[in-house]
Amino acid sequence: MQEENPILSKPKKLVEEFFSLAEEDSRRIVAELELDTQLINIAGEVVKPRMVNGAKCNLRLAAVDGSRCPSPSMKVGVGAAVVTAGYMVAEGGSIIASDYRAKTFVSKASGRELKLATRVATLSLERKMALEALKWNPDFLIIDGSFFYPLSMAIYAQAPPYIKESVQEAHRDTSKLMDSGKAVGVIKRSSLRAIEAELLLRGKVAPDHVRGLRDKFILDVLMPERSLMKYEDFATENPVLLSLFLKTLAAGGGMDEALEKTRRQMTDVRRAQGIPDVELKRSYVRAFAEPPPFEVEHPPNFNVEDFAAKILPWCNEATGLPLLLDMLDQDIGVERGLMEAYVDEVHARALDKTLKREALKSLFKQLNPEKEF
């Protein structure tokens, strides 16, 4: 049975308004897409993906991922948060090893500090699990996301000492992963805008015509299935630098000035947070025609062509990502319901350990009764 359009259940005046607005919005979207298409055509003159020939081999692959609650549970007296991480190792498509860890926070810290602490703890726990996974001697070790997660200098300067120490420890562990020559980062939520920045520096796009289009959107159009795109094949600067340069430029100033300012800022962040001065490379891999390509980050000595050829047969047709990473993501995800269940469990156990039950109940009340978290 077909469900009724919910718009039609509203008063006639609202229905007329919605359909009128839909017509206007559709025209606006089409106009924007036409401008996007013009930019993509210009990008196609510069970006030239390479075709990849890959066949299934007896690959030993490891994947590491971590997760944290969408936002800490903030009560009147305390805040609570959950962090998880795990790894899987597969050989020839069969799981041969896996392990998982969890960490929790119960703290009187502010919501902002607790959220930062859980973010850093997730990174730290992921890196510890990645070092454990390396003991299985995989051909490749996939970590979820970028190698380093530098905090803005303003946030880092205000962070408590224990958070700063955790950041630097995680970066030391990450350096060990880089030195292994096996680690590669798969970035699911790609936000780079380096292609348009490169076109701008080459004079192919005017400064007042910059659209801020994400590289992933551009490459979804330009990359055929079973292909590889390496930024180093066309970009004159590191793609992360190029992407940040666009933001700096938008704040005002000339292009040369914005580029040098961005370079200085990146250097300052690296030095302050213990990030090694190694220029990591970025590439994109596409396995199938329908799912979008995925971004990868890798050390300079990492053979990304070999990785692309060997990983393509082990990618998920639904997401386009390495299947092992998708499987692990399902296992370690911390959903809002899990966070709620954990807080309830802590509450129940705490009540069993005290005679001051009424006072303890007050600590577990919501700060905002209208919101569950």
DSSP calls for 90-117: EETTEEEEEEEEEEEEEE-S-HHHHHHH
Look at the block and give the residue holding tokens 């997401």: 319
Q: What are phi and psi of 52, to 5 degrees?
A: -120, 130
Mean pLDDT, rounded, for 56-69: 90
In whole angstroms, what is the distance from residue 230 CA to residue 293 CA? Answer: 12
pLDDT value at position 350? 64
The mean predicted confidence, pLDDT, of the chain is: 86
Q: Which domains does the chain have, with CATH numbers?
A: 58-188+321-353 (3.30.420)
pLDDT above 90 for 372:
no
More confident: 147 or 32: 147
Mean pLDDT, rounded, for 256-265: 93
CA distances from 2 to 5, 6 (A): 9, 12
pTM of the model: 0.85
List, in sequence order, the alpha helices (H) in the chain: 12-43, 111-134, 153-158, 161-180, 194-201, 215-222, 239-250, 255-273, 304-311, 323-332, 336-352, 357-363
pLDDT level of residue 362 (50, 70, 90 thresholds): low
pLDDT above 90 for 103:
no
Q: pLDDT tens across 284-330, in order?
A: 999 999 999 999 999 999 999 999 999 999 999 999 999 999 999 88
In whole angstroms, what is the distance from residue 354 CA to residue 255 CA? Answer: 64
DSSP string, 22-47: HHHHHHHHHHHHHHHHHHHHHHTTT-
pLDDT above 50 for 244:
yes
Chain-centre distance for alpha carbon 369 = 32
Instruction: Return the ∠ at Cα 294 (arms to 290 and 296), rounded to 5°.
Output: 160
- The H or E element containing residue 230 is strand 227-230
In whole angstroms, what is the distance from residue 136 CA to residue 140 CA? Answer: 11
Range from 18-22, 162-166, 188-192, 331-335 carrying the lowest mean pLDDT? 331-335
